[in-house]
Structure 1
Amino acid sequence: MGKSVVLVGCGNMGYAMLKGWIASGKLAASDTTVVEPNDGLRERAAALGVNTATKADEVSPSAGFIVFAVKPQIIRDIAPAYASHTGKATFISVVAGLGTAGFEEMLGRHASVMRCMPNTPAAIGKGMMVLFSNRNVTEEAKQFASELLATSGAIATIENEELMDAVTAVSGSGPAYVFHFIECLTAAGEKAGLPKDTAKLLAMQTVYGAANLAKESDEEPGRLREQVTSPNGTTAAALNILMGDNRLLDLVTEAVEAARRRSIELGK
């Protein structure tokens, strides 16, 4: 199995992944082909030194991996053109909403298909990438794909594809929840008298710093929270509002469940 990679679609997410692959040294530009009909996007990719093409029939039959990074509404128009690679290449999809069964319908039941759910921080190499592989994917392919996609962020794997709806609700949509929390914390800071720019800086840096501390610390987030909270202090007063009657927990749980149900609906 070759390690040459074909990237189908080079919009914002595709281009961000491509840059990570090349910059990390995990993939040589000469081993990479971008299929992109848009002239501007194709030229942007070519500037990285990769090979480019405008359509599927220009792709080498020896391609080892074919990554689909196109919009969900056009994937069914694009994917069937790559069916000739079934049995020779491993297909990786970062297309939201379409399961491996859908790709098997288009590419054949023997197609090796990996489904990846990234989130938007992948654009800066700080994403969360969750992978599911169908029964046809080899261990070698899983390993290479994980190493390649890890250039865009952390990697997790699931064995039950139905969990992708929960993944979507937590990490796929999750950045928007965090962005809204930053908005809310900024607005609260302004209401408390802080200048807007100062409130925004405090909110963003606090979320950024706390997230990094939680990631790098050996302590559980709950323990880190306790370390910040002095008895009867200011943090305790705030947490009494957020944690009283499980207010924040219930709100977040309800939000995640709404996103999970919507993901199921969109996948039908």
Structure 2
Amino acid sequence: MSFENKIIGFIGCGNMGSAMISGILESKLVESKNIFAAVKSKESALDKENKLGIKVCCNNAEVAQKSDILFLAVKPQFMDEILEEIKNEVSNDTVIISIAAGKDINYYEKKLGEDKKIIRAMPNTPSMVKEGMMGICINCNVQKEEIDMVKELCMGFSKTEVVPENLMGVVTAVSGSSPAYVFMFIEAMADAAVLGGMPRKQAYEFAAQAVLGSAKMVLETKKHPGELKDMVCSPAGTTIQAVKTLEKEGMRSAVFEAVEKCIEASNGLK
């Protein structure tokens, strides 16, 4: 798919917005001259221009007017103000993608018009290292070729899957928020390794690489996680002793409850 004549706009260029732009640039799908971002201050604009090599301004309306695909990469509390600024600037052909948590498609249609092409997205922080997972839901104005275009555009920083909007709370819990759970797991394993005598820097490397490799096995082998777990658990071996302890201490139920609470909290955001 060609992006040669497409202008990709970003309103907001913080950690997530910058990560998305970097991934798009590294994918070589879009040239830097065709990415246009808006930030709050001139100082920030100069900084982002120098770091990313794109055009940056302080005018949200200008970016909205020129963009074929427009990412709204701002926090939810600023969204009302942003939409008020751009509502008369975005055309019906512009694909608008928001990453703000808790704002549903109906909210954007009320603010911008029911004739606009709206995509609601939930990326996660591993997008910063080009290993993100993002769920998107779409309104009825977005065409299949536009969905495919967005998915291809985002490949540089994240895998992307379309989900019905009622599952966006689940997306938040299982990918948007879950890096925090994984970081806690890595930290706990590393602490235990330090207790066992391993230097902390080395402990983090062992624990993190083990998690990375295990996740890759799930994705690449397509085997059930339980089957992969059983492959590690030799009869009367060390691993099954550890698994028994995790079961006794309620690891599964703790994760289950945490994800359930996160879904509940996400669905309650407005």
- What is the CA–CA distance in structure 2 between the aligned matches of 1:102 and 1:60, rounded to whole Å? 18
| Secondary structure, aligned partner of 1:223 | helix
Q: Confirm whether residue 230 of structure 1 aligns to residue 269 of structure 2.
A: no
Q: Confirm whether residue 120 of structure 1 aligns to residue 122 of structure 2.
A: no
Q: Confirm whether residue 103 of structure 1 aligns to residue 103 of structure 2.
A: no
| Secondary structure, aligned partner of 2:87 | helix
119-128 or 132-141, which deviates more: 132-141
Q: Letter of the 2:124 partner, please give it.
A: N
- What is the CA–CA distance in structure 1 between the aligned matches of 2:43 and 2:127, rounded to whole Å? 22
Tell me how many residue pairs correspond in the alignment. Answer: 265
- The structural deviation recorded for 1:156 is 1.2
Q: Confirm whether residue 207 of structure 1 aligns to residue 211 of structure 2.
A: yes
- What is the CA–CA distance in structure 2 between the aligned matches of 1:239 and 1:250, rounded to whole Å? 14
- What is the CA–CA distance in structure 2 between the aligned matches of 1:218 and 1:139, rounded to whole Å? 27
- The structural deviation recorded for 1:244 is 4.5
TM-score by length of 1: 0.92
Q: Confirm whether residue 252 of structure 1 aligns to residue 263 of structure 2.
A: no
Deviations 1:10-60 (A, max 9, x none): 111111111111121111222221111222332233233322221133237
Q: Letter of the 2:251 partner, please give it.
A: L
Aligned counterpart, 1:129? 134
40-49 or 133-142, which deviates more: 40-49
- The structural deviation recorded for 1:228 is 0.9
Q: Which runs of 4+ in 1 moved over 6 A?
A: none
- What is the CA–CA distance in structure 1 between the aligned matches of 2:202 and 2:33, rounded to whole Å? 47
- What is the CA–CA distance in structure 1 between the aligned matches of 2:208 and 2:60, rounded to whole Å? 43
The answer to whether the 8 Å contact 2:101/2:269 transfers is no
Q: Letter of the 1:78 partner, please give it.
A: I
Q: Letter of the 2:122 partner, please give it.
A: M
| Secondary structure, aligned partner of 1:136 | coil
- The structural deviation recorded for 1:145 is 0.9
- What is the CA–CA distance in structure 2 between the aligned matches of 1:60 and 1:198, rounded to whole Å? 47
- The structural deviation recorded for 1:266 is 1.9
Q: Confirm whether residue 266 of structure 1 aligns to residue 260 of structure 2.
A: no
- What is the CA–CA distance in structure 1 between the aligned matches of 2:144 and 2:176, rounded to whole Å? 25
Aligned counterpart, 2:8? 5
Q: Sort the Cα spacing of 1:202 and 1:35 in 2 relative to 1 into closer, same or farther, 3 A.
A: same
Q: Letter of the 1:31 partner, please give it.
A: N
The answer to whether the 8 Å contact 2:42/2:57 transfers is no
| Secondary structure, aligned partner of 1:262 | helix
Q: Letter of the 1:14 partner, please give it.
A: G
TM-score by length of 2: 0.91
Consecutive unaligned residues in structure 2, runs of 5 or more: none
The answer to whether the 8 Å contact 1:214/1:220 transfers is yes
Aligned counterpart, 1:33? 36
- What is the CA–CA distance in structure 2 between the aligned matches of 1:208 and 1:230, rounded to whole Å? 22
Q: Letter of the 1:115 partner, please give it.
A: R
- What is the CA–CA distance in structure 1 between the aligned matches of 2:20 and 2:231, rounded to whole Å? 37
- What is the CA–CA distance in structure 1 between the aligned matches of 2:95 and 2:202, rounded to whole Å? 49
| Secondary structure, aligned partner of 1:25 | coil
The answer to whether the 8 Å contact 1:190/1:196 transfers is yes
- The structural deviation recorded for 1:249 is 1.6
Matches within 5 A, 1:163-242: 163-242=167-246
Q: Letter of the 1:153 partner, please give it.
A: S
- The structural deviation recorded for 1:118 is 0.4
Deviations 1:179-226 (A, max 9, x none): 000111112223334333333332222212222233222422222111
| Secondary structure, aligned partner of 1:101 | helix
Deviations 1:221-246 (A, max 9, x none): 2221111110110001111122359x
- What is the CA–CA distance in structure 1 between the aligned matches of 2:46 and 2:248, rounded to whole Å? 55
